[in-house]
Amino acid sequence: MPIESPLALPARAIPSRRLALKTLASLTAIGGLGLAGCSRGDDKSAASSGPAVVKKTGEKIAFKYPDNPSFDLIYLADQLGYFEGTNTRPQYVGKIAAPQIIPLVGTGEIDFGSRMVPLVISAIASGADLKVVAAGGKTLQEAPHMKYFVRKDSGIRTPKDLEGKTVGFNSFGACAEFVTKKYLRQHNVDVNKINFVVIPDEQAEQTLVTRNTDLAIIHAPFSGRAENADQLLRLWSDFDLDGGLGGMAPYSAHGKFIREHPESVRDVVTALAKAGNWVNANPEEARKLVAKRINMDLKNMDRYAYVEDLVVTEPPIQYYVDILQSEGKIAAGKVSVKEVYTNEFNPYAQQQQPQPAKT
């Protein structure tokens, strides 16, 4: 299996003026979402992903997807050949800032995207046309979704110590904001006394070292670099905060793409699930592939873990519905859990359904 082969399709720059205008419109319409915020054969798996305008390449359906420096199953599925034998291929459209991904999926500028559940819920509440089609990453004690770092000389050791300090995370409206605020309030911290600022994950460690922030919440794979920094100390992970309930990072698709290309959605979900299962079975090999792709020193590459077969379950979604309601971000009853996701395109979800007893 040629797993060391390069990605099949090259990255392409986003048409700047057109995308910039539509991005601005989408962010306005969604209320600034995210800114305020193994072997290959018959592996169990399902998939999801994708970006913007749909084009046909011969008989192939090309789904637009960001080409970001991240640990992402779309890139791994492509490298591992899991789109081979299907009529669906990723078309990489260039780097897209994390806060823009769900707004762009919601308006159809990109066809698939992977961002946390609360962003999807908020987008749906605002009228965006998208749905979670596959589960993604999960939090394990040995493979957290995100980690919390301070400088060793900061004196910060407890939640209460963060009052009056500056906390950096990759966007408002997502896991880093809501999981953190929920945990801090449980420890009687006045979150209004904390200055929260947006710092991309790849810059968060350096921003902390240079004292521009006092605590940095960093996602894998970049959290590994902070873990190895001599002057930094890891306080917690999200597993410590909520046992991993808030760590599911799913794949969402634009509603129009789902309706017009259901077989392609099934292709993507299947490829993603295969890739997720492969990562779980081969965590070190996965680290090597991603480190090579994003040009990161392997020793600094934190690992990921994925939900088995990428089958979506309801507790992680309900967790964020409850948080968004308690935070006053959505009205009670505005969005139901079943509006947020579907396992319709995941063949492995059907295999997991209990079979009726034979009579």
In tens, the pLDDT along 250-282 reads 999 999 999 999 999 999 999 999 999 999 999
Residue 167 tokens read as: 């906390």
- The helix or strand, by DSSP H or E, that contains position 71, with its residue range, turns out to be none
Share of the chain above pLDDT 90, in %: 77
Whose tokens are 């090579």? That residue is 292
**What is the value of pTM for the model shown?**
0.80
Residue 106: closest CA among 122, 86, 87, 130: 130
Whether the predicted pLDDT of 332 surpasses 90: yes
User: What whole-number distance in Å separates Cα of residue 303 and Cα of residue 215?
Assistant: 22
Whether the bond between 6 and the residue before it is cis, its omega within 30 degrees of 0, is no
Whether the predicted pLDDT of 341 surpasses 70: yes
User: What whole-number distance in Å separates Cα of residue 199 and Cα of residue 243?
Assistant: 25
Residue 352 confidence (pLDDT): 63
Helix (H, G, I), strand (E, B) or coil at 311: coil
Yes or no: say if 312 and 134 are a contact pair by the CB < 8 Å rule. Answer: yes
Give mean pLDDT, residues 130-158. 95
